[in-house]
């Protein structure tokens, strides 16, 4: 899966970047895959032992940042060729601190769907792979927490902290990222290869894929209008309460103990 993710970086229309591939105590051939890319912009670092979550790897990469922006890419996700160009143009044109785009969840057990979080006061912040961040925000925002240190997902905690510190988020209304189901219910490598070929052969892949997802979403809506209106009113009320009470991001999921998500993931992956 790593090879496909790195290929999706090499085809970016914005080429002024450096890549830090952080191994979380890897014992496979990941280092060879990075070396075989044959690109001096790609650097490999392997941590001495596995940390159990991507926060440590993120933080190791962040410490090595020399550029103006930070972009994240999970090892099993894909960027579309216009991803970096789109986000850089968005963050600069809107003078924001963070920019994010539309991400497609590719799943085996049910139809794919677009992830389009709404800021400000989003209950569910964007996935890291569709996020661009100004590097100078690190001096105030700091690093990612481990699952045992936060009641929310570390990703949710990180971007909520940025939001509560007053950083501006800008939305780029384009599909630029494909995120694959991590539960392992299908051969994700085969699916990534298939999507890579589709993207390479179809210049209009992004527009056609997003249109297809939206059409499916409309047809699958089976709730009556009143239910949709009620759900929207409840979500708006929650957002207003969050803003008025000025809650700390970690308090938004106060009913879940620290480390809850880590225990859940280990159970799903049958590690306990």
Looking from the CA of 30 toward its CB, the CA atoms found within 13 Å total 20
Question: Could you count the other beta carbons within 10 Å of the beta carbon of residue 133?
Answer: 26
Question: Could you count the other beta carbons within 10 Å of the beta carbon of residue 144?
Answer: 22
Question: Which residues neighbour 185 within 8 Å (Cβ) at sequence distance 6 or greater?
Answer: 108, 109
Averaged pLDDT of the chain: 82
Taking residues 6-33, what's their average pLDDT?
A: 95
Q: How would residue 189 be classed by pLDDT, with cut points 50, 70 and 90?
A: low
Min mean pLDDT across 68-72, 131-135, 195-199, 255-259 is at: 255-259
Burial class (CB in 10 A: 0-12, 13-18, 19+), 122: middle
Per the model's pLDDT, the better-predicted residue between 231 and 32 turns out to be: 32
User: What pLDDT shows up at residue 213?
Assistant: 79
User: What pLDDT shows up at residue 187?
Assistant: 53
Taking residues 2-29, what's their average pLDDT?
A: 94
Residue 199 has pLDDT above 80, yes or no: yes
CATH number assigned to the domain covering 2-268: 3.90.550.10
Taking residues 140-164, what's their average pLDDT?
A: 89
DSSP string, 17-58: --EEEEESS--SSHHHHHHTT--TTEEEEE-SS--SSHHHHH
User: What pLDDT shows up at residue 121?
Assistant: 47
Q: How would residue 226 be classed by pLDDT, with cut points 50, 70 and 90?
A: low
Residue 134 has pLDDT above 70, yes or no: yes
Whose tokens are 């009143």? That residue is: 226
Distance CA 95, CA 75 (A): 29
Q: How would residue 109 be classed by pLDDT, with cut points 50, 70 and 90?
A: low
Burial class (CB in 10 A: 0-12, 13-18, 19+), 110: exposed
Taking residues 35-64, what's their average pLDDT?
A: 93
Per the model's pLDDT, the better-predicted residue between 12 and 189 turns out to be: 12
Contact predicate 11/32, CB 8 Å? no
Residue 107 has pLDDT above 90, yes or no: no
Taking residues 94-104, what's their average pLDDT?
A: 94
Residue 259 has pLDDT above 90, yes or no: no
User: What pLDDT shows up at residue 126?
Assistant: 80
Q: How would residue 48 be classed by pLDDT, with cut points 50, 70 and 90?
A: very high
Distance CA 133, CA 114 (A): 21
Task: Give me the residue spans of the domains in the chain.
Answer: 2-268
Taking residues 50-72, what's their average pLDDT?
A: 93
Per the model's pLDDT, the better-predicted residue between 211 and 242 turns out to be: 211
Distance CA 146, CA 150 (A): 7
3-state SS of 145-159 is CCHHHCCCCHHHHHH
**Two structure tokens written together for 237:** 């009320």
- Proportion of the chain in helix, strand, coil states, percent, rounded to 5: 45, 15, 40
Residue 165 has pLDDT above 70, yes or no: yes
């Amino acid at each position: 899966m790593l090879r496909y993710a790195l290929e999706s970086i090499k085809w970016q229309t914005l080429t002024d970047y450096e890549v830090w591939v952080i191994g979380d105590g890897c014992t496979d051939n990941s280092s060879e895959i990075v070396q075989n890319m044959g690109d001096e912009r790609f650097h490999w670092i392997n941590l001495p032992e596995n940390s159990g979550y991507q926060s440590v790897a993120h933080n190791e990469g962040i410490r090595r940042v020399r550029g103006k922006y930070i972009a994240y890419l999970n090892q099993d996700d894909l960027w579309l060729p216009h991803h970096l160009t789109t986000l850089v143009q968005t963050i600069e044109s809107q003078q924001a601190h963070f920019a994010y785009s539309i991400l497609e969840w590719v799943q085996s057990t049910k139809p794919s769907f677009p992830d389009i979080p709404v800021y400000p006061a989003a209950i569910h912040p964007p996935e890291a792979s569709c996020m661009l961040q100004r590097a100078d925000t690190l001096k105030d925002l700091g690093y990612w927490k481990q699952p045992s240190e936060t009641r929310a997902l570390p990703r949710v905690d990180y971007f909520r902290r940025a939001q509560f510190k007053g950083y501006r988020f800008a939305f780029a209304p384009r599909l630029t990222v494909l995120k694959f189901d991590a539960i392992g219910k299908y051969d994700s490598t085969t699916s990534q290869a298939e999507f890579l070929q589709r993207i390479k052969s179809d210049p209009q892949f992004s527009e056609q894929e997003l249109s297809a997802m939206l059409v499916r979403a409309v047809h699958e809506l089976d709730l009556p209008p009143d239910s949709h209106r009620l759900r929207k009113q409840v979500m708006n009320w929650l957002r207003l309460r969050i803003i008025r009470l000025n809650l700390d991001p970690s308090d938004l999921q106060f009913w879940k103990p620290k480390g809850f998500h880590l225990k859940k993931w280990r159970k799903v992956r049958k590690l306990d």
